[in-house]
């Protein structure tokens, strides 16, 4: 049995690329997810084909004819006229009059993502796809794709190979479009890889795909923020949270037209490369969301002020209420971007008024009511699929709202020179800020209470006469990265300064402002004394007790990564450097006390960042062993006991990390071979 076909979520190319291995490791940490038990209010077996069109009179009739001539006849064609000014409307009206399967939606020009979402909101099918007005389906395309989907109920999106055609509809040979995947070379026949990790090299999937209605319910619609990359954004979401694979058959039943006015040909004009870079930063944040906790609130457990001081960038959350016949469910004040989930397990009929709820869950029953958009009744048989599906919906909604919030915050003007964030040793830190030489009206203070059961209101009020610009927020998640992001979402200063238990010396804020006069500086760290035995390229910014960054740069990278807690500042600094800004480190007089565990954790975290492709640097086994050998000889030299112990620790850490790298190389080599032979 070919397990690469049966379980294609895992990269099977050999030798496995670094990107493939990073994605495989992500899937292994995430664990398997099966949402096949989720049933949406759709017509079983029906395929909804969305055709968004704007001034597409030249090829539109060809595209529609190819859809209506499918051997799989249980289809509906929803054409969305996005404000066309040519003959598009007349062509669509003619087809709608001739075939009852065709529906036309007309709207003002709102661009492709909005047109797709309008069509999907009207779709009634169990299976969904969309096609451009200039592409063509061969007659058996939908029959083949539906058969593939039915044979793999746990797969959410299926994609297939396609061939390239020119403006006249002839096979386009020697095209540079995905030249690496054309087999034979230059044939115009695009054979897509089974390995879904190739998606992180670029949006290779193209246009030949089919997905289930539950995919949209959970992962979300097409995002207007990623215009020209909206389909790439959608596939990245599915790849991170659901299941996607290539068809098991290699029939080529779809034709992709390459011509001068296609989106592909207008990459420079539409700034697709720049938009793709932004999308990849968004996707890194979304994959990190996989590790974030999802809070679930039950009806009757909330007080009126439960979330009064909760920052908007907190954690994904779900509010669950059980419907009781004869009573209208009430929605209390909830956290930002909270998914409202109504559960109903009673008899018929289903409640009539549920318009305020995002997802309404009931037991297995046919003929569920559609509510419009992504809202609707969903059949889930028991708790297990609910716990698999609803956190995906919560993370998708949270990510979408965070994108909106970040755009708003980036465009918002700076109201202060500095926003100072305090999360511990709050009293002494506030006292040190009272002695700053910078005028108090030029900075604001954000206090994040990471233990909300302890009320800090009285403490904050005692400093109110000295600081007018002081605010208090609660962060219920026991996580420094989440607390930092919560403060970032509320900050209004040009710079955001994090005091991690440090006492600010009187000129601290002025020093940061002075560094910020250089527009190329994005990060300023007041670090502890470096451990000179650490390999030079492994030294970073994670040991900075006082850490500052430009607010807009931090927002551009979506703040701090939950997965790298303990090194989240290092990761943020590396990501900000990728934006073209630089980090400036100022030494401090404090001494770093390294023990073996903290030193080993530092080595492991840095290696993990290399394996997750957060840094371009790669550490080799020989390099580590050579460095470990130097530390070994330092340990034998006549030095103070403390220095000898530190050298021994470095020697042991280098050996352990070198062995770990060797193990990774072995796994990367062996796993794809095992996958191919079916073991």
Condensed to tens digits (0 to 9), the pLDDT of residues 596-608 reads 887 888 888 888 8
Q: What is the mean pLDDT of residues 97-115?
A: 96
Q: Tell me: do 674 and 600 sit in the same domain.
A: yes
Q: What is the mean pLDDT of residues 470-474?
A: 93
The pLDDT confidence band at residue 178, using thresholds 50, 70 and 90, is confident
Nearest Cα to 81, choosing from 106, 47, 113? 106
Nearest Cα to 617, choosing from 524, 529, 535, 547? 535
Residue corresponding to tokens 């926003």: 419
The pLDDT confidence band at residue 14, using thresholds 50, 70 and 90, is low
pLDDT at res. 133: 94
If one counts every other C-beta atom within 10 angstroms of the C-beta of residue 443, the result is 22
Residue 61 has pLDDT above 90, yes or no: yes
Q: How far apart are CA 646 and CA 280, in angstroms?
A: 39
Is 33 within the bounds of a domain? no
Residue 551 has pLDDT above 90, yes or no: yes
pLDDT at res. 457: 87
Nearest Cα to 572, choosing from 586, 555, 592? 555
Tokens representing 391 are: 């956190």
Residue 586 has pLDDT above 80, yes or no: no
Residue 610 has pLDDT above 60, yes or no: yes
CA distances to 105, 452, 527 from 27, rounded to whole Å, are: 39, 34, 35
pLDDT > 90 fraction of the chain, expressed in percent and rounded:
50
Q: Tell me: do 246 and 99 sit in the same domain.
A: yes
Q: What is the mean pLDDT of residues 497-517?
A: 89
CA distances to 90, 493, 576 from 466, rounded to whole Å, are: 70, 19, 34
pLDDT at res. 3: 34
As a whole number of Å, the end-to-end CA separation of the chain is 8
Residue 122 has pLDDT above 90, yes or no: yes
Is 621 within the bounds of a domain? yes
Residue 529 has pLDDT above 70, yes or no: no
Q: Tell me: do 556 and 609 sit in the same domain.
A: no
pLDDT at res. 679: 43
pLDDT at res. 583: 85
- Residue pair 208/135 in contact by the 8 Å Cβ criterion: no
The pLDDT confidence band at residue 392, using thresholds 50, 70 and 90, is very high
Indicate which CATH number applies to the domain containing 218.
3.90.550.10
pLDDT at res. 152: 94
Residue 108 has pLDDT above 90, yes or no: yes
If one counts every other C-beta atom within 10 angstroms of the C-beta of residue 191, the result is 16
Is 405 within the bounds of a domain? no
Q: Tell me: do 220 and 234 sit in the same domain.
A: yes
Q: Which domain holds residue 612?
A: 593-679
Q: What is the mean pLDDT of residues 69-86?
A: 96
Q: Tell me: do 430 and 491 sit in the same domain.
A: yes
Q: Last residue of a domain, which of 533, 568, 587?
A: 587
494 CA to centre of own chain: 26
**Weakest mean pLDDT among 64-68, 330-334, 577-581:** 330-334
Helix, strand, or coil (residue 375): strand
The pLDDT confidence band at residue 263, using thresholds 50, 70 and 90, is low
- Residue pair 122/78 in contact by the 8 Å Cβ criterion: yes
Q: Tell me: do 137 and 263 sit in the same domain.
A: yes
pLDDT at res. 570: 84
pLDDT at res. 419: 96
Q: Tell me: do 250 and 305 sit in the same domain.
A: no
pLDDT > 70 fraction of the chain, expressed in percent and rounded:
89
The continuous run of DSSP H or E covering 400 comes out as: helix 383-411
pLDDT at res. 403: 95
- Report the C-alpha dihedral over residues 181, 187, 190, 191, rounded to 10 degrees: -70
Listing DSSP states for 497-558 in one string gives: EEESSPPPPTTHHHHHHHHHTSTTEEEEEEEPPP-TTS-GGG--STTEEEEEEEHHHHHHTT
Is 88 within the bounds of a domain? yes
Is 12 within the bounds of a domain? no
The pLDDT confidence band at residue 6, using thresholds 50, 70 and 90, is very low
Residue 2 has pLDDT above 60, yes or no: no
Residue 675 has pLDDT above 70, yes or no: no
In the chain, the number of structural domains is: 4
pLDDT at res. 7: 40
642 CA to centre of own chain: 44
The pLDDT confidence band at residue 88, using thresholds 50, 70 and 90, is very high
Phi, psi of 646 (to 5 degrees): -65, -40
| DSSP one-letter code for 541 | S
pLDDT at res. 348: 66
Q: Which tens digit of pLDDT belongs to each residue from 617-670? A: 788 888 888 888 988 988 888 878 778 888 888 889 899 989 998 988 888 877
Nearest Cα to 368, choosing from 358, 357, 376? 376
Q: Tell me: do 314 and 371 sit in the same domain.
A: yes
Q: How far apart are CA 627 and CA 653, in angstroms?
A: 10
Start-end of H helices in 11-71: 18-30, 60-68
If one counts every other C-beta atom within 10 angstroms of the C-beta of residue 470, the result is 19
Nearest Cα to 84, choosing from 99, 103, 106, 67? 106
198 CA to centre of own chain: 17
Angle (CA) 500-497-439 rounded to 5° is 120
The pLDDT confidence band at residue 150, using thresholds 50, 70 and 90, is very high
CA distances to 69, 116, 127, 162, 605 from 6, rounded to whole Å, are: 32, 31, 21, 22, 33
The continuous run of DSSP H or E covering 242 comes out as: none
Q: Last residue of a domain, which of 587, 618, 640?
A: 587
- Residue pair 242/236 in contact by the 8 Å Cβ criterion: no
pLDDT at res. 46: 96
Is 22 within the bounds of a domain? no
Residue 157 has pLDDT above 90, yes or no: yes
Residue 678 has pLDDT above 50, yes or no: no
């Amino acid at each position: 049995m070919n397990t690469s076909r049966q379980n294609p979520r895992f990269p099977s190319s050999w030798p496995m690329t670094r990107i493939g291995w990073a994605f495989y490791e992500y899937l292994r940490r995430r664990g398997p997810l099966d949402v096949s038990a989720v049933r949406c209010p759709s017509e079983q077996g029906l395929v909804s084909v969305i055709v968004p069109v704007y001034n597409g009179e030249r090829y539109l009739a060809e595209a529609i004819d190819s859809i209506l001539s499918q051997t799989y006849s249980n289809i509906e064609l929803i054409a969305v006229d996005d404000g066309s000014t040519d003959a598009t409307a007349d062509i669509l009206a003619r087809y709608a009059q001739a075939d009852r399967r065709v529906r036309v939606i007309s709207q003002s020009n709102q661009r492709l993502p909005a047109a797709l979402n309008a069509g999907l909101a009207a779709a009634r099918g169990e299976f969904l796809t969309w096609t451009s007005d200039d592409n063509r389906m061969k007659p058996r395309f939908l029959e083949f794709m539906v058969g593939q989907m039915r044979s793999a109920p746990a797969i959410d999106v299926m994609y297939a190979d396609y061939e390239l055609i020119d403006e006249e509809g002839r096979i386009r040979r020697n095209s540079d479009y995905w030249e690496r995947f054309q087999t034979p070379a230059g044939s115009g026949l695009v054979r897509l890889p089974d390995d879904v990790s190739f998606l992180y090299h670029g949006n290779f999937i193209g246009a030949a795909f089919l997905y289930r209605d539950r995919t949209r319910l959970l992962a979300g619609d097409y995002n207007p923020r990623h215009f020209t990359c909206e389909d790439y954004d959608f596939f990245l979401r599915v790849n991170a949270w659901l299941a996607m694979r290539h068809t098991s058959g290699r029939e080529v039943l779809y034709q992709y037209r390459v011509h001068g006015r296609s989106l592909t040909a207008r990459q420079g004009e539409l700034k697709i490369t720049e938009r793709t870079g932004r999308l990849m930063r968004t996707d890194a944040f979304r994959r990190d969301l996989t590790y974030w906790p999802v809070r679930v609130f039950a009806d009757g457990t909330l007080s009126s002020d439960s979330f009064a001081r909760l920052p908007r960038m907190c954690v994904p959350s779900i509010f669950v209420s059980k419907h009781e016949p004869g009573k209208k469910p009430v929605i209390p004040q909830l956290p930002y971007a909270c998914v409202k989930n109504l559960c109903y397990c009673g008899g018929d009929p289903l409640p009539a008024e549920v318009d305020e709820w995002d997802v309404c869950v009931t037991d297995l029953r046919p003929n569920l009511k559609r509510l419009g958009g992504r809202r609707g009744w969903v059949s889930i048989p028991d708790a297990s699929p609910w716990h698999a599906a609803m956190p995906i919906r919560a993370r998708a909604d949270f990510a979408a709202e965070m994108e909106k919030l970040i755009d708003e915050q980036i465009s918002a003007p700076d109201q202060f020179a500095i926003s100072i964030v305090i999360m511990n040793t709050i009293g002494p830190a506030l006292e040190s800020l009272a002695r700053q030489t910078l005028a108090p009206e030029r900075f604001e203070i954000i206090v994040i209470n990471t233990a909300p059961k302890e009320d800090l209101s009285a403490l904050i009020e005692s400093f109110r006469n000295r600081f007018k610009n002081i605010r208090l927020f609660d962060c219920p998640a026991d996580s420094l990265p989440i607390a930092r992001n919560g403060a970032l979402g509320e900050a209004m200063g040009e710079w955001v300064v994090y005091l991690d238990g440090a006492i600010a010396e009187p000129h601290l804020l002025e020093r940061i402002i002075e560094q910020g006069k250089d527009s190329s500086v994005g990060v300023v760290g007041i670090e502890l004394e470096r451990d000179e035995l650490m390999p030079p390229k492994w030294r970073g910014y994670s040991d900075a007790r006082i850490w500052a960054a430009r607010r807009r740069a931090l927002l551009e990278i979506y703040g701090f990564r939950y997965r790298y807690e303990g090194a989240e500042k290092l990761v943020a600094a590396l990501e900000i450097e990728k934006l073209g800004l630089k980090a400036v480190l100022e030494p401090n007089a404090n001494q770093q006390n390294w023990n073996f565990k903290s030193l080993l954790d530092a080595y492991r975290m840095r290696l993990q960042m290399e394996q997750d492709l957060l840094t371009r640097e790669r550490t080799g086994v020989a390099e580590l062993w050579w460095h470990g050998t130097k530390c070994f000889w330092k340990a034998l030299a006549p030095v103070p006991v403390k220095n000898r112990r530190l050298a021994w620790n470095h020697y042991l850490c280098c050996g352990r990390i070198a062995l770990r790298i060797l193990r990774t190389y072995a796994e990367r080599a062996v796993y794809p071979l095992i996958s191919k032979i079916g073991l």
